[in-house]
């Protein structure tokens, strides 16, 4: 098996040859993804699936052409009826109650292998009874499970939506729980998400950490005097905490990203806070390389951004909950520096508050970090490692049928 994999770089054909050797035959593959409107962590997982299976077909609720990588755009693609609804390109989340019906409309009868990349409804697609469905789960639907208040609490939506959402959320939870048996194997992107899958779905999951591109990163030990945030401006990212903290600290904060909360965040930011919009990979590398540290105030299921920052040797100041506990060797604000068994690569604060983040920044300023050790720690999450692990995992699941 290993010899066959190493013969060629074309992973798609390499897998197909292995399957033919085992008598599995030609496998027709469907890739299911919630929506394609930008290149974030979930899309980077899908991109690897596309490289492994270039002859697969993608099914997604909404696709904005040109918003994802050429690798993804090159595959055959089918969208749902959501694509044709008014304003769907920018306001597709407004149609959340319709998502279950939209994902179930896809006809998957001809496909032997279903790979869903799911953080919302993708795992609820209906496979053929004889098909193998592997769901790479970024998280159970956060909008109605773990982060309902962050999306639909007071001040987040209008009065009508706030009154209607409890009913719709209850229906969505029931649907989400009821579709669990459509998945043969769950793969979680972290131990944190594995526990969440067990809690909400009652299912076990294997853990394969998602891909982080490290090949164009480099060790950069100097800084240009600013702290950095790289984030979509979604409510649960809690960029507002960082802005409030740095308003008080007076330190320079560079914010890379865009999203639904952009107007509100800019409205509360002081002059020491610079918004740069989205950045291409080259410009983003410059931002990482020049920062003093990455600020990470939200709870993430895995969190690719902290790994990317560490690839440049940069420490991370993070809210110590979720996937970041698996990707950063953090020293707690109250901890004693130098007494940890492992050399730290960042600082954790325990409460998701402005005051806690300010304390963490003060703590950071009093410490020094080994930038080379930080980078070496991050390289274990390299994209090729993910690619090899997920390839072998899929091969193993097919072989066992």
- Return the pLDDT at 154: 64
pLDDT tens track for 251-279: 999 999 988 889 999 999 999 999 999 88
- Return the pLDDT at 150: 62
Tell me the range of 19-28, 90-99, 139-148, 313-322 where mean pLDDT is highest: 313-322
Q: What is the mean pLDDT of the chain?
A: 88
Q: Give 316 or 279, the one with higher predicted confidence.
A: 316
Let me know: does 80 contact 92? Beta carbons within 8 Å. no
Alpha helices in 202-280 (DSSP H): 239-249, 262-268
pLDDT (mean) for 31-51: 94
- Return the pLDDT at 260: 82
pLDDT at 284 over 80: yes
pLDDT (mean) for 39-68: 95
First to last CA, the chain: 17
pLDDT at 229 over 70: yes
Q: Give 166 or 248, the one with higher predicted confidence.
A: 248
Q: How far apart are CA 193 and CA 1, in angstroms?
A: 30
Let me know: does 327 contact 307? Beta carbons within 8 Å. yes
How many percent of the chain have pLDDT more than 70? 86
Q: Give 259 or 400, the one with higher predicted confidence.
A: 259
Confidence of residue 215 (pLDDT cuts 50, 70, 90): confident
pLDDT at 24 over 80: no
Helical (H) or strand (E) element with 13: helix 11-21
pLDDT at 3 over 50: no
pLDDT tens track for 173-209: 999 999 999 999 999 999 999 999 999 999 999 999 9
Q: Is the Cα torsion angle 183, 188, 189, 193 positive or negative in sign?
A: positive
Confidence of residue 1 (pLDDT cuts 50, 70, 90): very low
pLDDT at 322 over 70: yes
Token pair listed for 292: 């003093």
Q: pTM for the complete prediction? A: 0.80
pLDDT tens track for 122-136: 999 999 999 999 999
- Return the pLDDT at 147: 59
Q: Give 146 or 282, the one with higher predicted confidence.
A: 282
- Return the pLDDT at 54: 95
Q: Give 283 or 2, the one with higher predicted confidence.
A: 283
Let me know: does 368 contact 196? Beta carbons within 8 Å. no
Other CB atoms within 10 Å distance of the CB of residue 384:
12
- Return the pLDDT at 5: 31
DSSP assignments along 20-80, one per residue = HHTT-----EEEEES-BSS-SHHHHHHHHHHHH-TT-EEEES-B-TTSS-HHHHTSEEEE-
- Return the pLDDT at 161: 64
Buried b (16+ CB within 10 A) or exposed e, 229-260: bbbbbbbbbbbbbbbbbbbebebbbbbbbeee
Domains of the chain: 2-211+382-399 (3.40.50.2000), 226-381 (3.40.50.2000)
């Amino acid at each position: 098996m290993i010899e066959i994999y190493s013969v060629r770089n074309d992973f798609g054909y390499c897998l197909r040859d292995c399957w033919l050797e085992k008598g599995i035959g030609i496998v027709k593959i469907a890739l299911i993804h919630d929506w394609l409107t930008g290149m974030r962590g979930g899309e980077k997982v899908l991109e690897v699936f596309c490289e492994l299976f270039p002859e697969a077909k993608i099914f997604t609720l909404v696709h904005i052409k040109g918003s994802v990588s050429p690798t993804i755009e090159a595959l055959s693609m089918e969208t749902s009826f959501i694509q044709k609804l008014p304003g769907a390109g920018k306001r597709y989340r407004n149609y959340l109650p319709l998502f279950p019906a939209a994902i179930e409309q896809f006809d998957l009868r001809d496909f032997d292998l279903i790979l869903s990349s799911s953080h919302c409804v993708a795992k609820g697609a209906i496979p053929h009874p004889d098909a193998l469905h592997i769901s790479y789960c970024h998280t159970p639907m956060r909008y109605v499970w773990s982060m309902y208040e962050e999306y639909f609490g007071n001040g987040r939506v209008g009065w009508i939506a706030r009154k209607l959402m409890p009913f719709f959320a209850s229906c969505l939870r029931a649907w989400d729980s009821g579709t669990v048996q459509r998945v043969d194997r769950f793969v979680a992107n972290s131990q944190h998400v594995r526990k969440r899958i067990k809690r909400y779905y009652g299912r076990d999951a294997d853990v394969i950490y998602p891909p982080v591109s490290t090949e164009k990163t480099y060790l950069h030990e100097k800084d240009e005097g600013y702290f950095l945030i790289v984030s979509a401006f979604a409510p649960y990212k809690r960029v507002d905490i960082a802005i409030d903290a740095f308003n008080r600290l007076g330190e320079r904060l560079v914010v890379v990203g865009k999203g639904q909360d952009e107007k509100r965040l800019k409205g509360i930011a002081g002059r020491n806070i610079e918004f740069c919009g989205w950045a291409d990979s080259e410009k983003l590398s410059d931002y990482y390389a020049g920062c003093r540290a990455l600020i990470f105030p939200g709870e993430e299921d895995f969190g690719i951004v902290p790994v990317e920052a560490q690839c440049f040797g940069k420490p991370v100041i993070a809210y110590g909950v979720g996937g970041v506990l698996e990707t950063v060797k953090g020293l707690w604000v109250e901890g004693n520096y130098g007494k940890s068994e492992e050399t730290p690569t960042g600082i954790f604060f325990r409460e998701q508050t402005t005051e806690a983040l300010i304390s963490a920044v003060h703590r950071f300023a009093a410490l020094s970090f080994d930038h080379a050790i930080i980078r070496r720690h991050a390289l274990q999450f390299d994209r090729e490692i993910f690619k090899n692990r997920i390839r072998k995992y899929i091969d193993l699941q097919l072989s066992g049928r």
